[in-house]
Structure 1
Amino acid sequence: MAGLRLNLSVLWWLPRGLIFGLMAFFIFGPLFNMALWTVTEKWYFPHALPLEYGFSAWARVFAPRGGALQSLGNSLTVAVLTVIVSLAFAIPAGYALARLKLPLRSLILLAFLIPQAFPNLTVYVNVARLFYEIHLNGTIAGVVLVHVSHGLVYAVWIATAAFSAIDVELEQAARSLGAGAMRTFRDITLPLAAPGLMASAIFVFLESLDEFTGSYFVGAPDVNMLPLLLYTAGSGGNYQVASITALLLLVPSLIFMLIVERFLKADVLSRVGR
């Protein structure tokens, strides 16, 4: 009997181990390949591993003519401005959607999904033409406006959920003790909603940092961004530069997602879309 139970246990864990192994391969395999390319000097078919290792590609990327530092600076500037503008709209909008009994509340929330509902390519071609006429094409301001149109989806929906998760009785208690509406919002509501708003800001930041299509049609070639540098290097077969640029985009994404996991609680997530 003991041998039979052992065999059944092996038969039970074998397919599960195989499935998890395949998942790990498809998830971490490309990341491992990317990491290898960042330190590769010579690698060609049919060799499974690089023939020479080194860091000369890093020197080329961060050289004054490499464009990585300028692209990184532009990407961070646009991402920070996108977060500021998005939250400036999302905080009052999220509070109103969470507290006021609006008759078209669901339609208003769905309206923020419209930028995601259409193919980006056709939208940004027309946006670029419009921005060219009003002299916003090829400017930081134009790129920020495009990124905000996508960032508002995360900002408004998560802000609405964060404010909805706050007990109204806490605000009513503050008002009954003599606090005005603005003071109640500043001292009670906003601090309690801060973790959700922080998570919203991180989502907007990461969305802006990775945005390619809008940055290409509205910003290029005057506003260089990291996704544009990644695309140029990859399409030109320069896999070392492309992998290093991808790593620069990956590291903040991993760090911020860990922060989001800490701040975005289950009670907030349960109210998204309500």
Structure 2
Amino acid sequence: MMARVDFWWLPRALSLGLLAFIIFGPLTNLVLWTVAEKWYFPHMLPLEYGFSFWQRVFSQRGNAMESLLTSIVIAALTVIASLALAIPAGYALSRLKLPFRGLILLAFLIPQAFPNLPVYVNIARFFYQIGLNGTIAGVVMVHVTHGLVYAVWIATAAFSAVDIDLEEAARSIGAGPFRAFRDVTLPLAAPGLMASAIFVFLESLDEFTGSYFVGAPDVNTLPLLLYTAGSGGNYQIASITALLLLVPSIGFMLVVERFLRADVLSKVGH
């Protein structure tokens, strides 16, 4: 008898190949643009390769380093402000039997529930009246409204994952409420809080719309530089800028995978 040929591997291979193309195709195109000196239709690959555009991006006139530094400063301030609000809020939501606790958690999703454009236009108008438009403080405040979604929800889950009996044991041997929180609860919740800090940092680092309406042209971040280069047809500069934003995002997400354990994720929303 002839051996039966199994062709089931073919659709699986095609599906995996299509998925790999969807994921890595745009990334490959992005990397090619960063080293393309000449590339135009109908050629499938660049005609010349080089790093002259890298020199232009990192030159003094390129503003890439200044924009990157501004983006990092804004993201760091956003993390500090978000955690300063999220740690007490998350602890209260995880430990206290608050009325309408679910609605309070849902309230932090409101900034994500509406289209960003009309919201930021009105925020920019209000900030202009009070002198916050075009300032780092104004941009940070806008970023915090989005960062609190990650910070509060993950902080609440992180504190919920810490057994309250450990706090009560510390209290029973003489520790006060603050010391029990500082020495017992906070260190155990630290991995989840670190993960929320990374989410907030990446959200702030990639934020464009709020930065554009509230900060531009006085506060120039890396996403704004990317938008300016892309809209002007400078695809090499736009690709290099996008790569600068992509590298920390991938690195931090790998770190988040180590920090967010299954027992913490199971507490989200509870």
Where do residues 228-247 of structure 1 align in structure 2 (5 Å cutoff)? 228-247=224-243
Distance 1:3 1:30 in 2: 41
Where do residues 84-95 of structure 1 align in structure 2 (5 Å cutoff)? 84-95=80-91
Distance 2:250 2:216 in 1: 27
Where do residues 2-81 of structure 1 align in structure 2 (5 Å cutoff)? 3-4=3-4, 7-8=5-6, 11-81=7-77
Distance 1:226 1:202 in 2: 18
Distance 1:155 1:179 in 2: 28
Which AA in structure 1 matches 2:248? P
Which AA in structure 1 matches 2:53? A
Distance 2:260 2:17 in 1: 29
Aligned to 1:49, what secondary structure does the other structure show? coil
Aligned to 1:3, what secondary structure does the other structure show? coil
2:183 aligns to what? 187
What TM-score does the superposition give when structure 1 sets the normalisation length?
A: 0.97
Moved more, 60-69 or 214-223: 60-69
Where do residues 108-187 of structure 1 align in structure 2 (5 Å cutoff)? 108-187=104-183
Distance 1:18 1:95 in 2: 48
Deviation at 1:13, TM superposition (A): 1.6
Distance 1:2 1:257 in 2: 51
Q: 1:131 to 1:2 in 2, by over 3 A?
A: farther
Deviation at 1:16, TM superposition (A): 1.1
77, 93, 99: which is aligned to 1:97?
93
Aligned to 1:237, what secondary structure does the other structure show? coil
Distance 2:98 2:203 in 1: 29
Cα RMSD (Å) of the superposition?
Answer: 0.8
Moved more, 61-70 or 213-222: 61-70
2:196 aligns to what? 200
CA deviation profile, 1:221-246 (whole Å, cap 9, x unmatched): 00000100101101111000000000
Q: Percent identity?
A: 79
Distance 2:195 2:51 in 1: 35
Deviation at 1:220, TM superposition (A): 0.2
Deviation at 1:22, TM superposition (A): 0.3
2:258 pairs with 1:262: yes
Which AA in structure 1 matches 2:158? A
Deviation at 1:2, TM superposition (A): 7.5
1:106 aligns to what? 102
Which AA in structure 2 matches 1:3? A
Structure 1's unaligned 5+ residue stretches are: none
Structure 2's unaligned 5+ residue stretches are: none
Distance 1:201 1:119 in 2: 24
Distance 2:142 2:22 in 1: 33
Distance 2:188 2:11 in 1: 45
Distance 1:136 1:188 in 2: 40
Deviation at 1:12, TM superposition (A): 1.9
Distance 1:31 1:240 in 2: 14
Moved over 6 A (4+): none
Distance 1:271 1:197 in 2: 14
CA deviation profile, 1:143-165 (whole Å, cap 9, x unmatched): 00000000000000000000000
1:273 aligns to what? 269
Which AA in structure 1 matches 2:3? G
2:220 pairs with 1:224: yes
Distance 1:36 1:237 in 2: 16
